[in-house]
Amino acid sequence: MVVTLSPSSASPSGLADHFDQAWRSPLESLLGLGSAAGADLVEVFLERTDHLGVLAEQERITSVSPAFGTGAGIRVFRGERDGFVSTNDLSEAGLRRALEQALGMLGLVAPSLANPGPSGFNGLASLRDFGASKTPWLGACPTLAEATTRLLEGTDRLERHGAHLQARRGSYARDWQEVLVAASDGTFARDIRLHQSLGLTVLAADGEHRASAGRRYGSSGRPEHLAQWDVEASAQEVCTSAGTMLYSDYVEACQVPVVLANRFGGVIFHEACGHLLETTQVERGTTPFADQVGELIAHEAVTAIDEGLSEGAFGSLSMDDEGMEPQRTVLIENGVLRRFLSDRAGERRTGHERTGSGRRQSHAFAAASRMRNTYIAAGPHSPEELIASVEKGLYCKAMGGGSVGPTGQFNFAVEEGYLIEDGQLTKPVKGATLIGEAKEVMPRISMCANDLELAAGFCGSVSGSIFVTVGQPHIKVDSITVGGR
Amino acid sequence: MDKLDAPALRSRIETFAKAQGIGRWDLGAASSNDSSVQVDRGEAKQMKAAQRSSITVRVWNGDGLVGITSTSDLSDSGLQKALAGAHDASAFGNPDDCPAFSPLATAPLQVLEQPLHEPRGILELLTSLKDAERQLLDRHPALTTVPYNGLAERSSERIYLNSDGACRAQQLTTASVYLYARAEQAGRKPRSAGAVRLAYGAADLDLAGCITEAADRTIAHLDYAPIATGHYTCVFSPEAFLDLIGAFSSLFNARAVLDGVSLSSRSSLGQSLAVPFLSIAVNGLHPGNIGASSFDGEGTPTRRLSLVEGGVLQNFLHSEATARAFGVAPTGHAGLGAKVSVGPDWFEIGATPGAAGAALGLDRHAASGQGGAGLVLIDSLSALHAGVKASQGSFSLPFDGWLLQGGAARSIEAATVAGDIRTLLNAIVGFEGEAKVTPDGLCPHVWVEGLSITGEA
């Protein structure tokens, strides 16, 4: 197919306030030029965003931060190499300049507009419009007045339920995004995403004793999320945690069995194993599991899943940032490694088939294989059975953030912990950090309870910060290093 | 890069603001061109470039309340929408803490020695990085890959304008390289370490030094062993100590003090915070601070500020609003927002001149030969975002380092260091070696006694 960027075609710069069929012609022109230049694949990602952040402290709204923007990311593949250019300039000239720059990175030269020459590009497929039914979402979100009222209700509830509170905060963020993905393999897809998160945090202080506690709640595709938020329950949970931890002792360093609570306890799998099952890690040679598909890498009690399908979950999506519909990907089944998470680049470079996991923070990042909703499946036990099975150990009720290094060493912080003594929860402790190596800890997850729950979070990695869900039932790890004092 | 045209931008904003009935406004705008490359075993892995532009406008409404909006759309319609959004947001401005223009927004700026470099181009960057990767891998047979690497160059410009006539502008070019190598030996766990270098242009980057440091550090971790859990005297590398102080910088942050989330309070000024020989200052103007800003988000000039002298807290970092609340001048450490953030720029840490009590000229190698439990050299800290509780003062952090014992250094397999920042600041024994210039500041090795180390069994 020979295509031209015709001066008489609609100007993309006039289309920046919406993404639809009108973009077909200019995008086909760009993709055709890239293909004619010798690229194996050209992909254009267009984005419009609308963000609102609100912060309440004590009895005041202290920050309202709206932001909006547009941008494009153009990626060109040739063999296993790729060049990526991002720009805020969606004009015809701006997009062409970005394409030429990406082609130049791979030693390719865009043909002239007048004589583009032959191309292997056969035009875009019909538009798959996942966003068609989502147009009302932004208008259905809470107004600024409603958001501020709700947050002040939250900080008021904190004041009512808490003791010794030195600071009370409520925060709300609404991220709306419209994307259009077009690629020279014919991909042409549009979506609208809506993510909302809200949180309550407190700092309690009494003399030398200090404790902070917080909870975040997130959803996707639910404009009514803030209105349906159970402020009372959230405030009670946060204040109970802070009150419990205020006078607690610091944990002593030890190597013991631990029981990790459900919901955000899933950060252990996310950090210890999930990242190592992304093809970006296979490409880098930084996962110990690269050649272990079909082999036992975890305890037989462990089945782990990553999917983008759970309705309303923070990591759910109708299509990934490469235009592919997400899947339910069984990563580990009864301890056996089944599958890696893969994107376009991962498929080209490692051979692992795409899983609808190509994700990016924004147009400024090239997509990479990333997790979506990732969790360990429920097991047969009750949470009480797990705790009862531990003679001396640690119960991690609330977890903080964590990270994994290039050699598979992971760590994460325990926000609210309790000693387990003779199968019973005893005194609360704080200041614990769990550390270990993925390859060693996965076989030690020996019991899974029957109370799987998910929790919203943010994950930062090669393609920026993205919305994810972690999750698990209560699980027992037979032995792990607990960093403390 | 399309140059930001401050007079033209002012003219457009004035026109649009007037049309919307907005008489008082300020803005920060930035644009940048970035190019970067990554390589993998002799091949280009990814090459990236970006053209970015952004603007944040702040407006004051008729009641004197402030609203802001940010956008990457610098078109006329984008600016008009941003002004309207900021005006709408101003209805929710905080009457108890309303920012104003900095009284120093038109004060003279110090001229910085920041040479502007022409970009070398992405293909030249690629050639340089491939060569650096090859040289690094040639240093030792155990060095198998450099999984995290990058060579980047950037040209950028930022401006600050306000409706009272203030106009700040700064152009900058910078370049950076990082090499993070991985070493593997049969039957042993993989080990990794890295190095970073910054410069004003890619041609000035110390690639050889970066290669040598990355190789030496990674190789030095090959011979590793677990460390017994216990309390040790620790020697923090300059980078590690600066990371820790940065993570607890709310100690010096007037915004955090006013918000009640700092360990410090108004009455902490003049009080002892650390051993009587410790000095901490911020000095964004230091020539070692590559990419220094000559003014902050509110247009206030950057300057050196003593935070701790002789162990005593001397000053807080301020924005215009916090300075007004404390009755002092802004210090040049503000962002731009409805609620203005405050943060440090570049630290200078060392012994207070003339103060007694500091052990100077410490030598970890000599000390490690004197028997006992040994010294722990903390080379780099990880996961500060998760392991530091700044408002509580506690930390529990994984680290890379070595146990120095019996005159020898052995890499620590995996461990965490935990404690309380106030206790740590009062357990400093002294300093070792000359202060080193790092991307985050200037600092010598710092000795601290009695820290809790947890080793992985």
By the 10 Å C-beta count (0-12 exposed, 13-18 middle, 19+ buried), B231 is classed as: middle
Kindly state whether A65 is in contact with chain B, defined as any CB-CB distance less than 8 angstroms. Answer: yes
Q: Which of B362, B365, B349, B357 is nearest to B441 (CA)?
A: B349
**Which residues touch A265 (CB under 8 Å, ≥6 apart)?**
A396, A399, A472, A474, A475
**CA of B42: which chain A residue's CA is closest?**
A81
Is the predicted pLDDT of residue B52 greater than 60, yes or no? yes
Is B211 part of any domain?
yes
Please state, for a pLDDT cut of 70, what percent of chain A lies above it.
Answer: 97
String of DSSP letters for B195-258: EEEEESSGGG--HHHHHHHHHHHHHHTSSEE---SEEEEEEE-HHHHHHHHHHTGGGGBHHHHH
Do residues B306 and B390 share a domain?
yes
Do residues B194 and B237 share a domain?
no
- Cβ–Cβ gap A284/B260 under 8 Å: no
Domain finish residue from B218, B253, B268: B218
Mean pLDDT on A468-473: 96
Output the pLDDT for position B364: 86
Do residues B143 and B196 share a domain?
yes
By the 10 Å C-beta count (0-12 exposed, 13-18 middle, 19+ buried), A451 is classed as: middle
User: For A53, what's the count of Cα atoms within 13 Å in the CB-facing half-sphere?
Assistant: 12
Query: pLDDT tens digit string along B268-290?
Result: 999 999 999 999 999 999 999 99
Query: pLDDT tens digit string along B129-160?
Result: 999 999 999 999 999 999 999 999 999 999 99
Is the predicted pLDDT of residue A2 greater than 70, yes or no? no
* Band of residue A176 on the pLDDT scale cut at 50, 70, 90: very high
Residue B277: Cβ within 10 Å count = 21
Name the residue type at position B378: I
Output the pLDDT for position A13: 47
Query: pLDDT tens digit string along B12-29?
Result: 999 999 999 999 999 999
Query: pLDDT tens digit string along A389-398?
Result: 999 999 999 9
**CA of B55: which chain A residue's CA is closest?**
A67
Cα separation, A242 vs B54, in Å, equals 39
Query: pLDDT tens digit string along A34-86?
Result: 999 999 999 999 999 999 999 999 999 999 999 999 999 999 999 989 999 99
Is the predicted pLDDT of residue A1 greater than 50, yes or no? no
Nearest CA-CA distance, residue B229 and chain A, Å:
7
Q: Which of A88, A283, A365 to probe the B interface (max B CBs under 10 A)?
A: A88
DSSP SS3 for A344 = helix
DSSP SS3 for B283 = coil
Cα separation, A127 vs A386, in Å, equals 50
Cα separation, B232 vs A414, in Å, equals 23
**Which residues touch A115 (CB under 8 Å, ≥6 apart)?**
none
Is the predicted pLDDT of residue A294 greater than 90, yes or no? yes
Cα separation, B279 vs B308, in Å, equals 5
Mean pLDDT on A160-179: 97
Do residues B200 and B129 share a domain?
yes
Is the predicted pLDDT of residue B253 greater than 90, yes or no? yes
Mean pLDDT on A451-457: 96
Is B333 part of any domain?
yes
**CA of B454: which chain A residue's CA is closest?**
A483
- Cβ–Cβ gap B394/A364 under 8 Å: no
Report residue A9 as tokens: 């075609």
Mean pLDDT on B358-369: 82
When CB atoms are compared, the residue of B52, B190, B339 closest to A88 is: B52
- Cα–Cα separations (whole angstroms), residue A428 to A14, A261, A395, A406, A479: 60, 14, 9, 33, 20
Domain count, chain B: 2
**CA of A144: which chain B residue's CA is closest?**
B89
Is the predicted pLDDT of residue B101 greater than 90, yes or no? yes
Residues of chain A contacting residue B191, judged by C-beta atoms under 8 Å apart: 407
String of DSSP letters for B66-88: EEEEEES--SHHHHHHHHHHHHH
Q: Within chain A, what is the greatest distance between any pair of CA atoms?
A: 81
Vertex B156: Cα angle to B151 and B158 (nearest 5): 150
Do residues B281 and B303 share a domain?
yes
Angle formed by the axes of helices A144-161 and A231-246, nearest 10°: 40
Specify the DSSP element, H or E, that contains A148.
Answer: helix A144-161
Is B261 part of any domain?
yes
**CA of B70: which chain A residue's CA is closest?**
A67
Is the predicted pLDDT of residue B335 greater than 80, yes or no? yes
Please answer whether residues A359 and A372 qualify as being in contact, where contact means their C-beta atoms are separated by less than 8 angstroms.
yes
Do residues B206 and B237 share a domain?
no
Do residues B252 and B348 share a domain?
yes
- Ordered by where they begin, the domains of chain A are 12-50+68-130 (3.30.160), 137-247 (3.30.2290.10), 254-483 (no CATH)
Residues of chain B contacting residue A267, judged by C-beta atoms under 8 Å apart: none
Is the predicted pLDDT of residue B383 greater than 50, yes or no? yes
When CB atoms are compared, the residue of A69, A81, A433 closest to B72 is: A69
Do residues B155 and B263 share a domain?
no
Is B1 part of any domain?
no
Domain finish residue from B166, B200, B218: B218
Is B265 part of any domain?
yes
Mean pLDDT on B224-239: 96
Residues of chain A contacting residue B221, judged by C-beta atoms under 8 Å apart: none
**Which residues touch A207 (CB under 8 Å, ≥6 apart)?**
none
Nearest CA-CA distance, residue B456 and chain A, Å:
6
Do residues B188 and B246 share a domain?
no
Output the pLDDT for position B358: 81
Measured in whole angstroms, the distance separating CA B134 from the mean position of its chain's CA atoms is 30
Nearest CA-CA distance, residue A281 and chain B, Å:
9
- Cβ–Cβ gap A255/B89 under 8 Å: no
- From chain A residues 86-125, the ones with a CB under 8 A of any chain B CB are 86-89, 94, 98, 101-102, 104-106
Query: How many angstroms separate the first and last alpha carbons of chain B?
Result: 54
The predicted complex's ipTM stands at 0.92
Q: Which one-letter DSSP state was computed for residue B356?
A: S
Is B395 part of any domain?
yes
Is the predicted pLDDT of residue A11 greater than 70, yes or no? no
Mean pLDDT on A380-403: 94
Cα separation, A134 vs B25, in Å, equals 36
Is B86 part of any domain?
yes
CA pseudo-torsion sign A254, A259, A263, A269: positive
Cα separation, B280 vs B312, in Å, equals 10
* Band of residue A6 on the pLDDT scale cut at 50, 70, 90: very low
Q: How many helices (H) and strands (E) does chain B have?
A: 10, 19
DSSP SS3 for B127 = helix
Query: How many angstroms separate the first and last alpha carbons of chain A?
Result: 68
> Which residue's entry shows tokens 């050699």?
A407
String of DSSP letters for A31-79: HHHHHHTT-SEEEEEEEEEEEEEEEEETTEEEEEEEEEEEEEEEEEEET
- Cβ–Cβ gap A66/B50 under 8 Å: no
- Cβ–Cβ gap A253/B418 under 8 Å: yes
Q: Which of A172, A173, A169, A175 is nearest to A156 (CA)?
A: A169
Please state, for a pLDDT cut of 90, what percent of chain B lies above it.
Answer: 91
Output the pLDDT for position B370: 76
- Cα–Cα separations (whole angstroms), residue A61 to A465, B58, B322, B339: 26, 17, 17, 10
Domain finish residue from B189, B218, B247: B218
Cα separation, A204 vs A71, in Å, equals 42
Domain of B42 in residue numbering reads as 6-218
Do residues B207 and B230 share a domain?
no
Cα separation, A130 vs A179, in Å, equals 10
CATH code, domain carrying B99: 3.30.2290.10
Query: pLDDT tens digit string along A88-122?
Result: 999 999 999 999 999 999 999 999 877 777 788 99
Q: Which of A43, A254, A433 to probe the B interface (max B CBs under 10 A)?
A: A433
Do residues B190 and B244 share a domain?
no
Please answer whether residues B376 and B453 qualify as being in contact, where contact means their C-beta atoms are separated by less than 8 angstroms.
yes
Output the pLDDT for position B457: 59
Does the pTM surpass 0.80? The reply is yes
Angle formed by the axes of helices B6-19 and B76-90, nearest 10°: 50
Residues of chain A contacting residue B227, judged by C-beta atoms under 8 Å apart: none
Is B24 part of any domain?
yes
Nearest CA-CA distance, residue B145 and chain A, Å:
8
Do residues B202 and B102 share a domain?
yes
- From chain A residues 149-188, the ones with a CB under 8 A of any chain B CB are 166-167
Question: Which residues on adjacent β-strands are paired with residue A45?
Answer: A73, A181
When CB atoms are compared, the residue of B70, B392, B452 closest to A485 is: B452
